[in-house]
Structure 1
Amino acid sequence: MPQNLSTNTSDRLIEANPDCENWIVDDDSSTEAYYPQETELTVDPYRLFRFLSDLEDILLDIPGDRDRLKAIMPLVRHLLTSSYWLQMEYDQPSPKTGWSVKMLYREPEYPLTVQMVAWQPRSVSPIHNHGVWGIVALISGEEKNRFWKRSPTAEHPDRLELVGEKILQPGEIISFMPGAIHSVESIGDEPTISFNLYGETNYKQRYEFDVTNHTAKNF
């Protein structure tokens, strides 16, 4: 069943982080703070259909993933603070897996998916990449991201090295280049709720990693 956040969630999204921090995780999993230039976004409410149309224009007009991410992140923030109903659209995390994914938009031949993701407190994801660009906007709870990079040896070609971590607070937006590798942990005592946006899935480039055995497998 869908679960609703409190009606002041959109205020929390703005006020919890007045600096409106945005982060880009590169293909080598290094992180960079990004402060977009102020632009006047006058459409209010900024509805999902308009957001999707703007995204399609960006994908057509901007060829590079990094530049696309920089163009999309301000639109994600505008969408969530304007169409606040989106922040109340999520499913309870599964007791079996510890997480849930509610698909907000998916269409054949449209090269992205829009999701709301919920994690039970203290749930931890496998270490993985997505093989495509992605954007995560944290709405509620706290989420620890650990970042990894490939550090192959002759014996272990899929060996990883931990390069850093970042705890996301409500209002922060983090974006990932296709080669970025991370794991996610929901910390604190309340579920972690996020708005997730991903480019066209490339399953051949999407891996789950085992750092103990230095292996990788498609998922």
Structure 2
Amino acid sequence: MAISTNGMHSQDWLVNDSGDYIALNLEELALPEKPYRLYRFLTELEDILDTITDDCLRIQAIMPLVRKLLASSYWLQMEFSEPPIDPGWSVEFLYDEYEFPLTIQMVAWLPGNISPIHNHATWGIVAVVGGQEKNKFWRKVPTLKYPNRIECIGEKILVPGDIIGFTPDAIHCIEALGNEPVVTFNLYGVTAYEKRWKFDSVTHQAKNF
């Protein structure tokens, strides 16, 4: 299970608050002579957070580092827990330091499982390491009666090597496809939990998630 390093079948995506999913130019990946270790990744990541405040630009600056980390440090790709049948998914924390504005996880989903429709209330980056993951993208279309009404505006199937970034109010849901677990490397900023929602596309309601 290894993330693509040649870019042939890989793509970087950015999903904004309006639900638009934008294909980004994929930078040529040059692996360093020495392993690109997690501590170096975190150091460079902190520099980006200190200098870039725009979420879209920040995500685009971080994505090449994520690709380099996963291609160079193969051990990370195996740092996940086999998901149990109930609830059908698992989360393995790789890094979560008090008062440091980052959380890094390895997440695994059993095939057939579907997440709630949700936002993240922070910027986030997800790199697919194994399996196939279908993302559906949603947009808020409020009315006087239903201020949390949403509509689906598209979907994309992500495969190993693909990386997708989300702005804080981007709304999506995921479905694990195929016959093997979907394994992803997930990186998030500081979550504003009071602004994190799950949406019901039938009743047009939203609840804290």
Which TM class, normalised by the smaller chain length? over 0.9
Alignment of 1:180-199 (within 5 A): 180-199=170-189
Taking the aligned partners of 1:59 and 1:94, their CA distance within structure 2 comes to 35
Taking the aligned partners of 1:115 and 1:214, their CA distance within structure 2 comes to 30
- Structure 1 stretches of at least 4 aligned residues deviating more than 6 Å after TM superposition: none
The AA in structure 2 aligned to 1:188 is: G
Q: Measure how far apart 1:19 and its partner are.
A: 4.5
Q: Which runs of 5+ in 1 are unaligned?
A: 1-8
Q: Percent identity?
A: 53
Aligned equivalent of 1:47 = 37
Q: 1:74 aligns with which of 54, 59, 64?
A: 64
Q: 2:82 aligns with which of 85, 92, 108?
A: 92
Aligned equivalent of 1:58 = 48
Q: CA RMSD in A?
A: 1.4
Q: 2:142 aligns with which of 152, 158, 169?
A: 152
Q: 1:118 aligns with which of 101, 104, 108?
A: 108
How many pairs does the alignment contain?
A: 209
The AA in structure 2 aligned to 1:143 is: E
Taking the aligned partners of 1:129 and 1:43, their CA distance within structure 2 comes to 38
Structure-1-length-normalised TM-score = 0.91
1:13 and 2:4 matched? yes
Contact residue 149 and residue 201 of structure 2 kept, 8 A: yes
SS at match of 2:122: coil
The AA in structure 1 aligned to 2:102 is: L
Deviations 1:65-121 (A, max 9, x none): 111101100000000000010000100112211111000000011001000000000
Contact residue 29 and residue 68 of structure 2 kept, 8 A: no
Structure-2-length-normalised TM-score = 0.96
Taking the aligned partners of 1:208 and 1:37, their CA distance within structure 2 comes to 34
The AA in structure 1 aligned to 2:4 is: L
Deviations 1:5-29 (A, max 9, x none): xxxx22x5336x5153100001101
